[in-house]
Structure 1
Amino acid sequence: MLIYTRLAPPKEPKRRSRGGCSFCKEKKKKCDENRPKCSRCDEHGVECTYAAVKPRQRRRRDPLRLGLLTAGTPSEQYSTPRRLSEVSYFSNDCDYFRWRDDDHGRAASKGVDDAAIFSPLSPTFAGFPMLDFAPNDFAAGYPENDDSGVFTDAPHEEPVIDENDTPSNNAIVSRPRSPSPDMALISPLLVGPPFLEFTAPVYSEFSERPNRRALIDHFCNVLSHRIVFREETGNPFQQLILPLTRKSPPVMNAIFALASAHLEYRGVENPEKSLYFHNRAIQGVGQLIQQNDKVNRNEILAAIMLLVYYECLVQKGHSNIVAGHLKGFLTIMCTTVPEPLDPTGIFLERAFRFYDVITALSNGTSPLSSPPSASHLLPLSPLGAPTTSPLSNVDTLLGMSTTLWPIIHRLSTLLPLKSELDQSSSSSSSSSSCSSSSKMAVLRTEFSSTAQAIERALNDWEPSSTPASNSNIQSIYHNALSYRHASLLYLYRTVLGHTRLHPLVQKHMRITLEHCDATVKHKGPMSALLWPLFVASVEAVEKEDRELAEKVFGEVERRQGMTNIGEAWEVVRGVWGRDDETRPKGAELGGETEGETVKNGEEIWRAVGREMGVSIVFG
C-alpha cells in the first residue's frame, strides 16, 4: 500500500537586493536605493554611486569526499588529527598555549582551538573545516532503481550563491529543474556518513585539559628526543618513564614541569606555570617517601630524576638544589628494599651517574657515588633494540663515552683533593707539627699519582667503534671525542693549574671545539654537549677560536633550547671580556697572564658567574 501526502508549499526564500550603492555595500548596511542619492550617503555627506549589478552565477558544490576515499589519498588530511608539537615546537610565538581556563578548564581564549584539533563533532575537525553537502551530491554514487520505487531520480534543486554576500550570510535561492508535483512518493533521504571513524583527543588518557595534553605531546615529540643518544626502537623516556604516570601523580607533575619550563624558555605561554607543577611534584615525592615500602621505588626515583632535569634546565642563581636531589636519589637507592634490576631501574641509575659526575664538575665538588668499574657500565640500549645494530656500542644517555665515564668520574675527584692539599699546605706553614707534614705528603703523593694515571688513561682512550657513514653515528662519535679532549683540558688547566696560554691548554681547547663543531655539523644528537663546549670556550683566546665557539653555541642553543645553554654562553662572554682587559697586549702563547685566577685559586669563570648571579649545571 502506497501512502500519499500533499507537500507543504515552499517557504518564500529571503532575498537580498544586489542593487545597493557602493558605500552601503562597503559598510554592509541595507541601502534604500534612493536615486540619485540614498539616505545613508546623504546623511554622511559622501558621494553615492551605483555599480552595475553583476549577473548571478550558478556553482555546483564539489562532491563530498570526506570518509569516502581510500587510505593514501588526499582525504587523509581531513581524518588525521594534528600533532600538538607542530604548534609547540615549530612556532615559538604561537598562541596555542594561551588558554583561558573556565569551570571545566577547556575553553580557549585565542589561537588554535582545541576542538578544532580534536573534536570530530565540531564544525571543524583536524584543523580543517567540514564540507557542507546536499543529498544530490551523492546522486552519482548511488544506482538508480526506478522499477523498485526506492531510488528515484527526483527533480532536485541547485543552490545559487550570491558572490557579493559574505560567506556567513550566503543567500541560497532554490531553482527547481521542473515543477514539483502535487503528490510525491515518500522515499528515504540519501545521506552519506560524515566519517568512517572518530578519533579521540590525542593524549586524552593523561589529562582532560588541552594545555596539559599539549605538554605531554611536547615532552614526547620534542623534549625526550633532545636528551638521549639512541632510540632506534623507541625513546626510553617514553618506554620506561611515561608508563609510571598512570599510577604516580608526582611523575606526571614532574613531566609537566619539565615540558612547561622548556616551552617557557622558548617564549610559549601556558596558564599553568612550570613552577606550579614543580611544587606539586616536590610535595608528591615527599608523600611517596613517607609511604616507605608501599610504593614502587622506580616512581620515586623517576620523579626525583625528572626534577634534576628540571633544575638543570631552569636553575637561576646559586643553589645546591640539584645536589640535594641527587643525595635524595642515592638515599632512596641505599635505604629502600632492593628490587630486581629492571630496565627502568637501570635507566634511572645511569641517568643518576651522569648527573652525579656532571654536577661535581660543575660545582667543583666530589661525586656522591663511588667510581664504577669499566665492566659495570655496559651500553644501555632501548627496549627491543636488535643485538646486531650499528648503534650496539652506543649508550642511550652516555653515547660512545661509556668506557670513558669511569675515567671522568675519577677526574672529578681531583679538584676537591687539590683544595684539601692547599688547605693542608696552609695549615702546615703555620704549624710545624709532624702530623701535618705527614698528611700533606700523603695527599701530595695521592694527588700526583692519580693525576698521572688519569692523564695516561685519557691519552690512551678511544671510542669503542669507528664512525660510520651514518650522520647520527658521526655526531655521537665526535661528541665522545669532545669529552675526551675536554677532560684533558680540564686536567691541565683547572687541576694542574697551567696558564690559559699554555700550549697544552690551547691545543686541547682547539681540538675540543673542532669536535663540538663536527657534532653540530652532522646534525645528530647534541645531548650533553654543553660541558665540553663550555670548558673549551672559556679558554679561547684567538679570534677564530672564539668565532667557532660562538657559532657552535648558537647551533646547540637553537637545537636544544635550554636555559643553562644560554646562561653558559653569557658566562663565556664575561670571561672573554675580563681576559681581554687583564691580558697584556702582545702576549705570546706560553707566557704568563695577569688576572687569570682569583682569590683562593678559584677558576675565573666561577667568579664571573657569581658576579652575574648565575650557577650552571652543564647537563
Structure 2
Amino acid sequence: MDSVYRSRSIRRNRTGCWNCKSQKRRCSEEHPSCSRCIRRGLACSYGLRLQWEDEARCAGIAFGRAALHNRTPETTYYLLPVQRGRLRWLHTTADDVRRFPYGGASTRADETPDPAMLELSLPPSLSSLPSLEHNDGTLLQYYTQEWSAHRVLSKKLENPFQRLILPRAFQYSPLLHMVMSLAAHDLFNRTHADQEHQRQEFYSSMLQHKLQSLQDMRQLLCSSKGLDDTYDSISQCEKDGLLMAVMLHSLMEIATNSTREWVVHTLGGLSMVKRYGHEPFSPEVYRFVTDHFSLFEAFLATTGTELEIEDLNGWLVPQRKSMFPILRSMHGRSRINPYTGLSSELIQNITSITSTIQRHSEAGSDRKSATIMRTELQAVEDRLSELQQWSEDSDMESLIYINAAAFEAAAWVYLRVAQYGCDAEEIQKSLMPKLFEAIRRVHERRDALVGSVPYPLWALFIAACLAPEHERIQVLDWFEELKGCRSLSNVSSTMEATMMVWKQHDLKLINGHVKGGRESGVPWHEAVRCLGWMLSLM
C-alpha cells in the first residue's frame, strides 16, 4: 500500500532529460547530466526532438493535432522512390530538411534497406507551374495584370489577349513562352534607363523565351502529320495555340523594330489559314488572328510593298465574310475592333484604294485606265462618306473612338493622294487639319502612350509624309514622345522612313520642282523602296 501511495505521489516534470522521461521517473534536471543518468552511466540529453509523421504513425501515437484511433504499430512502410522526386511535402519544405544532417538519423532494425535511402532527392518548392523558372512567375503575372489589360482600347469590352490566349498558354508551351517574352519586352521598355542591370535581365528573358518558343514550335511541326490530318495527335487547343503563337511572334518582331523579319511569321500564319482554312481552329481564335493578319497586310501594302505569297491578294476578306455573319452587313463591318482601333469596313476601304493604285500603276497612265481608276476611287469615297464606325463602349471620348477617328481621317487623306492629279496643297488645307487634330487628341490621353496600348501609327505616318514644313516640328515631337515610352519598338524605323520622304521632297524642290501643284503617284512609295524596308505601321 505504501509503494502504491509513493508511486502516485511522484510528480514528473516536462523539462527533464529524455532518459528519465522514457522511464517515467522524476529527473533532478542537473546539467550537463542528471544524478540518475550518472548513477546508471547513461548519456544524458535535454531539448527538443523532431518526430516525423510516419514515425508517429508506426508508433501508434497522435501526430500534431491528428488523432489516430488504431494504435497498432505498423511494422512495414516504404519510402518514395527517387523517380517520384517531383512530389512535394506540404508541411515541410526542402529548406527545412537541409538544416538537419542525414547521417545522424536513427534507423529501425526491422527496416529493409531501400535504394532511395542512399541518395535522397530533395523536391523543388511547391508550385502550380513547376516548369517555370524563378522569375517567370513575375512575367506571367505582369502579362495577366498589365500587358494584356492594355492591349484593348476600352476596358469595358472583351479582351481576347486574356480570354483566348491565357487558357491555351497553359496547355501549349510555345504560346506560354511568347506570353512571357512579350511581358519581358514591355518591362524592358518601362524600366528606367538608369537601371541598366534590370533592363538587361528583362532583355535577356525576352530573347530566351522567344527562342524557346521557336524551338518548341519547330519540334511540334516536325512531329505532326499536318493540321488537316484527322489522325494527327495534335489537339484543337494545340492548333489554336500554334496559330496564336505565330501571331505573337509577328507582334514581337514588329515591337522590336523589325523591318523584314516580322513578314516571315505573317507569311507563315497567312499560309497556314490559306492552306487549312478555318476547320482546324476555333472560330473565335481564327477571327482574332485573322483580324491582325488582315491589318498587317493592309498597312504594308499602303507603303508600296506586297506580301509575296501565291493567290493571297484579295483572298482573306471574302473568306472572313463567308465565315462570320457579322461581317456580311455594313453595320457589323463598321464595328470598331477593340484591339486594332478601326473597323473591318475601313480596312476594306484602305485595301481597295491600294489595289486600285497598284492596278493603275501596272496598266499605265492612258485615258481609259485613268477613267476606270477615278470610277473605282469614287466608289470608295461613297463608302467612306457613309461609314459610321461604332463600338459597344458608349463613351464617345474613350480612346477607342479617338483612335478610330485618326484612322478614318488618314484614310481620307490616302484616298485624296490616290486620286489622279490631286493637289498636295489642297490636301494640306482641307484634310490635314482634321488628321492633325485627331492625332493631337490621342497624345493628350496619357494612357494612349503606354508601351502595349494600340496606337494609330499608320495615321501618324500618313500625316507626317504630307505635313507642311511648319508642322514637321510637331510631327518630330510626337515621334520623340513615342520613342520615350516605347524605346524598343517600330517607332524609330517609321520615323526614319518619314525623314527619308522629307529629304526626297526637299531635294525635288532644290532641283527645280515647282512647289505645290498636282503630282501623280504616292509620295512615300519611292522613299520606302529606297530603304528596302517592309514597314508594319502597327
Q: How does 1:167-182 map to 2 (within 5 A)?
A: none
Question: Would the alpha carbon gap of residues 572 and 275 (structure 1) be closer, same or farther in structure 2, given more than 3 Å must change?
Answer: same
Deviation at 1:497, TM superposition (A): 6.0
- Worse overlay, 445-454 or 508-517: 445-454
Aligned to 1:156: none
SS in structure 2 of the partner of residue 412 of structure 1: helix
Deviation at 1:591, TM superposition (A): 3.7
Question: Would the alpha carbon gap of residues 368 and 393 (structure 1) be closer, same or farther in structure 2, given more than 3 Å must change?
Answer: closer
- Worse overlay, 405-414 or 574-583: 574-583
Aligned to 1:448: 374
Question: Would the alpha carbon gap of residues 230 and 345 (structure 1) be closer, same or farther in structure 2, given more than 3 Å must change?
Answer: farther
* One-letter code aligned to 2:213: A
Question: Partners of 1:206 and 1:369 in 2: how far apart?
Answer: 43
Structure 1 residue runs of 5 or longer lacking an equivalent are: 11-119, 123-199, 380-391, 426-439
Question: Partners of 2:325 and 2:476 in 1: how far apart?
Answer: 34
Contact 2:156 2:393 in 1 (8 A): no
Question: Would the alpha carbon gap of residues 467 and 214 (structure 1) be closer, same or farther in structure 2, given more than 3 Å must change?
Answer: closer
Aligned pair 1:617/2:536, yes or no? yes
Aligned pair 1:216/2:162, yes or no? no
Return the match for 1:205 from 129, 154, 164.
129
Aligned to 1:227: 151
* One-letter code aligned to 1:617: S
Question: Partners of 1:280 and 1:581 in 2: how far apart?
Answer: 47
Question: Partners of 2:415 and 2:395 in 1: how far apart?
Answer: 32
Q: How does 1:397-476 map to 2 (within 5 A)?
A: 397-399=339-341, 401-422=343-364, 444-464=370-390, 469=395, 471=397, 473=398, 475-476=399-400
Question: Partners of 1:394 and 1:233 in 2: how far apart?
Answer: 11
Name the one with the larger helix percent. 2
> For residues 447-477 of structure 1, what are the alpha-carbon distances to aligned partners after superposition, in whole Å with 9 as ceiling and x for unaligned?
3322121122223323236995564x2x221
> For residues 296-332 of structure 1, what are the alpha-carbon distances to aligned partners after superposition, in whole Å with 9 as ceiling and x for unaligned?
3212211111111112112445x2x434433322332
Q: How does 1:7-86 map to 2 (within 5 A)?
A: none
Deviation at 1:232, TM superposition (A): 2.7
TM-score by length of 2: 0.61
* One-letter code aligned to 2:378: Q
Aligned to 2:317: 371
Return the match for 1:282 from 199, 208, 214.
214
Question: Would the alpha carbon gap of residues 226 and 605 (structure 1) be closer, same or farther in structure 2, given more than 3 Å must change?
Answer: farther
Contact 1:251 1:302 in 2 (8 A): yes
Structure 2 residue runs of 5 or longer lacking an equivalent are: 1-10, 17-27, 33-92, 96-124, 194-198, 308-312, 328-333
Deviation at 1:445, TM superposition (A): 4.9
Question: Partners of 1:483 and 1:347 in 2: how far apart?
Answer: 20
Aligned to 1:489: 413
Return the match for 1:309 from 236, 247, 251.
251
Aligned to 2:285: 344
Aligned to 1:335: 275
Deviation at 1:493, TM superposition (A): 2.3
Question: Partners of 1:508 and 1:417 in 2: how far apart?
Answer: 25
> For residues 589-614 of structure 1, what are the alpha-carbon distances to aligned partners after superposition, in whole Å with 9 as ceiling and x for unaligned?
8446xxx89xxx67446526844x75
Question: Partners of 1:358 and 1:532 in 2: how far apart?
Answer: 10
* One-letter code aligned to 2:403: N
Question: Partners of 1:217 and 1:361 in 2: how far apart?
Answer: 37
Deviation at 1:527, TM superposition (A): 1.2
Deviation at 1:269, TM superposition (A): 1.4
Q: How does 1:189-204 map to 2 (within 5 A)?
A: none
> For residues 208-261 of structure 1, what are the alpha-carbon distances to aligned partners after superposition, in whole Å with 9 as ceiling and x for unaligned?
313333333343333324432244366321221122222322222333443344
Contact 1:301 1:348 in 2 (8 A): yes
Aligned to 1:479: 403
Return the match for 1:576 from 492, 502, 509.
502
Deviation at 1:515, TM superposition (A): 0.5
Deviation at 1:618, TM superposition (A): 0.6
Aligned pair 1:269/2:200, yes or no? yes
Question: Partners of 1:542 and 1:467 in 2: how far apart?
Answer: 38
Aligned to 2:466: 539
Contact 2:189 2:485 in 1 (8 A): no
Aligned to 2:121: none
Aligned to 2:438: 515
Question: Partners of 2:325 and 2:510 in 1: how far apart?
Answer: 47
Contact 2:157 2:393 in 1 (8 A): no
Question: Partners of 1:467 and 1:342 in 2: how far apart?
Answer: 24
Question: Partners of 2:526 and 2:212 in 1: how far apart?
Answer: 32
Question: Partners of 1:206 and 1:505 in 2: how far apart?
Answer: 59
Aligned to 1:504: 427
SS in structure 1 of the partner of residue 496 of structure 2: helix
> For residues 143-175 of structure 1, what are the alpha-carbon distances to aligned partners after superposition, in whole Å with 9 as ceiling and x for unaligned?
xxxxxxxxxxxxxxxxxxxxxxxxxxxxxxxxx
> For residues 92-141 of structure 1, what are the alpha-carbon distances to aligned partners after superposition, in whole Å with 9 as ceiling and x for unaligned?
xxxxxxxxxxxxxxxxxxxxxxxxxxxx999xxxxxxxxxxxxxxxxxxx
Q: How does 1:555-570 map to 2 (within 5 A)?
A: 555-558=481-484, 562-570=488-496
Higher relative contact order (CA 8 A, sep 6+): 2
Aligned pair 1:549/2:495, yes or no? no
Aligned to 2:265: 325
Contact 1:241 1:302 in 2 (8 A): yes
> For residues 23-80 of structure 1, what are the alpha-carbon distances to aligned partners after superposition, in whole Å with 9 as ceiling and x for unaligned?
xxxxxxxxxxxxxxxxxxxxxxxxxxxxxxxxxxxxxxxxxxxxxxxxxxxxxxxxxx
Aligned to 2:40: none
Deviation at 1:503, TM superposition (A): 0.8
Return the match for 1:238 from 154, 162, 179.
162
Contact 1:254 1:307 in 2 (8 A): yes
> For residues 389-436 of structure 1, what are the alpha-carbon distances to aligned partners after superposition, in whole Å with 9 as ceiling and x for unaligned?
xxx9543324453432322232232232233123xx6xxxxxxxxxxx
Contact 1:312 1:617 in 2 (8 A): yes
Contact 1:365 1:416 in 2 (8 A): no
Contact 2:304 2:525 in 1 (8 A): no
Question: Partners of 1:465 and 1:254 in 2: how far apart?
Answer: 29
Contact 2:185 2:206 in 1 (8 A): yes
Deviation at 1:581, TM superposition (A): 5.1
Question: Partners of 2:436 and 2:524 in 1: how far apart?
Answer: 20
* One-letter code aligned to 1:533: L
Contact 2:153 2:400 in 1 (8 A): yes
Deviation at 1:584, TM superposition (A): 6.0
* One-letter code aligned to 1:371: V
Deviation at 1:536, TM superposition (A): 0.5
Contact 1:356 1:368 in 2 (8 A): no
Question: Partners of 1:363 and 1:287 in 2: how far apart?
Answer: 36
* One-letter code aligned to 1:549: V
Q: What's the Cα RMSD here?
A: 4.1
Aligned pair 1:356/2:297, yes or no? yes
> For residues 476-497 of structure 1, what are the alpha-carbon distances to aligned partners after superposition, in whole Å with 9 as ceiling and x for unaligned?
2121121112112122225636
Question: Partners of 1:494 and 1:207 in 2: how far apart?
Answer: 54
Question: Would the alpha carbon gap of residues 541 and 552 (structure 1) be closer, same or farther in structure 2, given more than 3 Å must change?
Answer: same
Q: How does 1:597-608 map to 2 (within 5 A)?
A: 603-604=523-524, 606-607=526-527
SS in structure 1 of the partner of residue 135 of structure 2: helix
Equivalent pairs counted in the alignment come to: 392
Contact 1:568 1:616 in 2 (8 A): yes
* One-letter code aligned to 2:164: L
Contact 1:488 1:508 in 2 (8 A): yes
